[in-house]
């Protein structure tokens, strides 16, 4: 299948390939303290005054299994460095003190969110440890607990099902990851956050973004979550028919989601095509074959600089032959991407060979080894014309890890799409981050006892949670706001001020809703702070419209004037901008003037003439006349 960019891809594509996507939204809660210790929450600083070094080892799950991710991370042999700031971190975060009891404030907020998401709530919380061996948490696991399962939110004509809501501690921020050393700063570590996980109910890329937006707004509507950079983060799960789920991490903005999941879907389709081609060639998981050979001596004299330098530094060069893979490694997997990228990614992440290029292949032989060198490598590996060869280089241990990773990835290709956690890249594609962890990484936290999620807490939450956006949208529709605007306003941060202003001014709901749902975001995009307006001014303005003291068009003029200048009342601005409705005489005079100007002009149609007249009059009377009324007058006039 040929790659097409998101915007040029018909919607039918996603149905054809069986696209499915789900979300995991992480949202920090607005608490004074962290989740399991008494450190202040929300204070970020890159400054540090102590450093700690740790390694992570895989451990067994409760049911006695090792987790695949854990084993992969162990292979990387990373040294993890933590930067510690005494103002933001105590001995709990760096795992030298057991946890304190869970933060009650965070639990209250999470209980409220569980209600908003219509979840089946548990009656007793059990703290679990979710293993993360990348070092992002010094304990090697994240303390997390489930408040509820199987909820829903309305979307379009149907529902998006919510798999679960968890309350958990945030992880470290990575500062650098070079070779075998990864450095983290610990300030964000331990901050309370909720994780909302949806079922894979989104069938088209734009649905994913829309649902992400609804869930983000829903959380914000509580007024008890953090905002700002990094306070809300999305992971997106994508799969296509016949493939397996991949998780995309680090999606920095919702706007980027559609193109990202589109590209990921395409990548997975391409991997399935590769699997099918391998199967046609008779290469199945059982019949897969590869072998590796040390090529350090054979390629010692190559002119290709990365390998030349590696050999000079005493490193090893290893070739891996993938039987029957010829040509497949250049198969396109996305914009500017080939299947070979998947191998290079694995080598970078697992073997820590992060100086690119870190591998070369016979499938993409240009610009690296000479034809003679390739021939020598093929001969040394006993590679035939139907085979592909990949060459890697690095220290003895790293090169060995890299070579075995290449064989593992190639074997995975016979099965299709490997379960992976992938990183969102700036170009809209994704790159391998780690093997996707499964339920085997869960382990009960033996440091804390279970905690009842009692009815009293749920009732307390019910009392403070905001009206759900879908209930709000329904209420707006009943008020007579058009459905589309009602939907927009319901998830808008301006819905609260709309409610107040509309009630106090008895404004036309449809008109006021349009101003708040569409014009206010426009002002915000232009960096105008609408909170400076104040409710009183808005109430006055809408009241004046209702009493026909000003025309509807005058409202935005006053608002913009108010935001761009110093203080004043609505009446002051109306006066200053001369926005009082035009008198009959003024309108007639303007109409007459415009008709004079139009005399002698030849219009292509009567409509063109009406447009011309409208433009002329509006240039003098905008905001002071009703557009529809004026159109009637012009139409009436030209008929005579």
Contact footprint for other proteins (CB under 8 A)? 48-64, 66, 70, 84, 86, 91, 94-98, 119-126, 128-131, 133, 138-141, 144-146, 148-150, 163-164, 166, 438-444, 446, 449-450, 452
User: Hey, which bits of 186-331 come out as E strands?
Assistant: 192-198, 232-239, 246-251, 290-294, 316-322
Calculate ∠ Cα 332-255-15, nearest 5°: 55
In the bound state with other proteins, the residue whose beta carbon lies nearer, of 66 and 304, is 66
Least Cα distance to 22 among 149, 203, 147 occurs for: 203
CA-to-CA separations, 143 to 56, 127, 188, 338, in angstroms, rounded: 16, 6, 14, 38
In the bound state with other proteins, the residue whose beta carbon lies nearer, of 184 and 516, is 184
Query: How far is the C-alpha of 260 from the C-alpha of 254, rounded, in Å?
Result: 10
- Residue in the block written with tokens 């981050």: 433
Shortest distance (Å) from residue 22 CB to other proteins: 13
Q: Residues 504, 507, 509, 514: is their CA dihedral positive or negative? A: negative
In the bound state with other proteins, the residue whose beta carbon lies nearer, of 86 and 255, is 86
Shortest distance (Å) from residue 159 CB to other proteins: 15
Shortest distance (Å) from residue 199 CB to other proteins: 12
Exposed, middle or buried by CB within 10 Å (0-12, 13-18, 19+), for 585? exposed
Provide DSSP, 121-180: E-SEE--EEEE-TTSSSTTSEEEEEEEEEEEEEEETTEEEEEEEEEEEE--PEEEEEETT
Q: What are phi and psi of 610, to 5 degrees?
A: -65, -40
Query: How far is the C-alpha of 372 from the C-alpha of 378, rounded, in Å?
Result: 10
In the bound state with other proteins, the residue whose beta carbon lies nearer, of 209 and 448, is 448
Shortest distance (Å) from residue 78 CB to other proteins: 11
In the bound state with other proteins, the residue whose beta carbon lies nearer, of 125 and 269, is 125
In the bound state with other proteins, the residue whose beta carbon lies nearer, of 44 and 66, is 66
Shortest distance (Å) from residue 262 CB to other proteins: 27
In the bound state with other proteins, the residue whose beta carbon lies nearer, of 70 and 481, is 70
In the bound state with other proteins, the residue whose beta carbon lies nearer, of 94 and 432, is 94
In the bound state with other proteins, the residue whose beta carbon lies nearer, of 159 and 546, is 159
Shortest distance (Å) from residue 435 CB to other proteins: 15
In the bound state with other proteins, the residue whose beta carbon lies nearer, of 162 and 240, is 162
Query: How far is the C-alpha of 407 from the C-alpha of 289, rounded, in Å?
Result: 8
In the bound state with other proteins, the residue whose beta carbon lies nearer, of 84 and 318, is 84
Shortest distance (Å) from residue 350 CB to other proteins: 17
In the bound state with other proteins, the residue whose beta carbon lies nearer, of 165 and 403, is 165
In the bound state with other proteins, the residue whose beta carbon lies nearer, of 447 and 478, is 447
Which 3 state secondary structure label does DSSP give 19?
A: coil
Neighbours of 467 (CB within 10 A): 16
Shortest distance (Å) from residue 313 CB to other proteins: 23
Q: What are phi and psi of 187, to 5 degrees?
A: -60, -40
Provide DSSP, 374-394: HHHHHHHHT--TT-EEEEEEE
Euclidean distance between the first and the last CA atom of the chain, given in angstroms as a whole number: 64
In the bound state with other proteins, the residue whose beta carbon lies nearer, of 195 and 345, is 195
Retrieve residue 5's tokens: 């960019």
Q: What are phi and psi of 130, to 5 degrees?
A: -100, 115
In the bound state with other proteins, the residue whose beta carbon lies nearer, of 449 and 593, is 449
Shortest distance (Å) from residue 146 CB to other proteins: 4
Instruction: List helix spans (H) across 383-468.
Output: 396-413, 455-464
> Is the Cβ–Cβ distance between 458 and 111 less than 8 Å?
yes
Shortest distance (Å) from residue 122 CB to other proteins: 4
Shortest distance (Å) from residue 447 CB to other proteins: 9
Retrieve residue 300's tokens: 């010692």
Which 3 state secondary structure label does DSSP give 320?
A: strand
- How many Cα atoms within 13 Å fall on the side-chain side of residue 556? 15
Shortest distance (Å) from residue 440 CB to other proteins: 7
Strand-pair partners of 397: none
Provide DSSP, 28-86: EB--SB-SSS-SBSS---S--SEEEEE-------TTS---HHHHHHHHTT-EEEEEE-T
Shortest distance (Å) from residue 55 CB to other proteins: 5
Shortest distance (Å) from residue 221 CB to other proteins: 23
Shortest distance (Å) from residue 73 CB to other proteins: 9
Strand-pair partners of 293: 319
> Is the Cβ–Cβ distance between 99 and 37 less than 8 Å?
yes
Question: What is the DSSP code (8-state) at residue 328?
Answer: G
């Amino acid at each position: 299948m040929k790659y097409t960019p998101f915007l040029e891809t018909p919607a039918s594509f996603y149905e054809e390939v069986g696209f499915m996507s789900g979300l995991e939204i992480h949202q920090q809660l607005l608490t004074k303290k962290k989740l399991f210790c008494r450190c202040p929450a929300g204070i970020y600083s890159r400054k540090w005054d102590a450093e700690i070094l740790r390694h992570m080892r895989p451990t067994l799950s409760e049911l006695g299994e090792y987790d695949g991710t854990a084993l992969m991370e162990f292979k990387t042999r990373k040294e993890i460095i933590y930067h510690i700031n005494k103002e933001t971190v105590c001995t709990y975060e760096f795992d030298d003190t057991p946890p304190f009891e869970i933060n009650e404030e965070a639990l209250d907020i999470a209980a409220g969110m569980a209600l908003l998401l219509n979840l089946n709530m548990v009656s007793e919380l059990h703290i679990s440890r979710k293993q993360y061996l990348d070092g992002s948490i010094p304990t090697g696991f994240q303390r997390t607990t489930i408040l509820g399962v199987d909820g829903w939110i309305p979307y379009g004509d149907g529902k998006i099902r919510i798999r679960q809501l968890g309350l958990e501690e945030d992880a470290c921020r990575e500062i650098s990851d070079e070779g075998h050393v990864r450095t983290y700063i610990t300030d964000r570590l331990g901050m309370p956050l909720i994780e909302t996980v949806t079922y894979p109910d989104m069938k088209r890329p734009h649905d994913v973004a829309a649902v992400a937006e609804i869930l983000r707004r829903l959380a914000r509507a509580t007024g008890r979550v953090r905002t700002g950079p990094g306070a809300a983060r999305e992971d997106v799960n994508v799969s296509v028919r016949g493939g397996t789920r991949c998780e995309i991490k680090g999606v920095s903005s919702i706007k980027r989601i559609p193109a990202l999941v589109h590209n990921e879907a395409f990548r997975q389709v391409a991997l399935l095509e590769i699997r099918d081609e391998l199967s046609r060639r008779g290469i199945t998981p059982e019949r897969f074959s590869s072998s590796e050979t040390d090529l350090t001596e054979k390629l010692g004299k190559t002119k290709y600089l990365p390998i030349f330098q590696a050999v000079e530094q005493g490193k090893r060069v290893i070739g891996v032959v993938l039987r029957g893979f010829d040509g497949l490694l250049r198969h396109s997997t996305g914009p500017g991407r080939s299947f070979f990228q998947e191998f290079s990614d694995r080598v970078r992440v697992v073997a820590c060979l992060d100086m690119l290029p870190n591998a070369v292949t016979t499938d993409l032989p240009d610009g690296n080894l000479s034809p003679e060198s390739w021939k020598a490598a093929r001969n040394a590996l006993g590679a035939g014309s139907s085979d592909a060869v990949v060459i890697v280089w690095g220290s003895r241990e790293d090169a060995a890890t890299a070579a075995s990773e290449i064989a593992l990835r190639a074997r995975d290709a016979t099965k299709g799409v490997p379960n992976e956690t992938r990183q969102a890249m700036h170009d809209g594609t994704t790159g391998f981050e780690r093997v996707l962890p499964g339920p085997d990484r869960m382990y009960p936290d033996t440091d804390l006892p279970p905690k009842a999620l009692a009815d009293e807490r749920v009732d307390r939450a019910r009392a403070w949670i905001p009206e759900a956006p879908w209930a709000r949208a329904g209420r707006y529709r009943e008020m007579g706001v058009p459905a589309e605007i009602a939907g927009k306003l319901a998830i808008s941060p301006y819905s609260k001020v709309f409610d107040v202003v509309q009630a106090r001014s008895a404004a036309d709901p449809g008109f006021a809703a349009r101003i708040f749902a569409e014009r206010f975001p426009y002002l915000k995009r232009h960096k105008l702070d609408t909170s400076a307006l104040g409710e009183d001014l808005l109430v006055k303005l809408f009241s004046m419209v209702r009493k026909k003291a000003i025309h509807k068009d005058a409202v935005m003029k006053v608002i913009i004037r108010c935001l761009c200048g110093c203080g004043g009342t609505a009446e002051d601005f109306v006066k200053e901008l001369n926005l009082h409705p035009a008198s009959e005489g003024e309108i007639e005079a303007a109409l007459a003037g415009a008709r004079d100007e139009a005399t002698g002009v030849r219009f292509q149609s009567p409509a063109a003439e009406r447009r011309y007249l409208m433009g002329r009059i509006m240039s003098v009377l905008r905001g002071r006349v009703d557009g529809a009324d004026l159109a009637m007058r012009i139409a009436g006039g030209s008929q005579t």
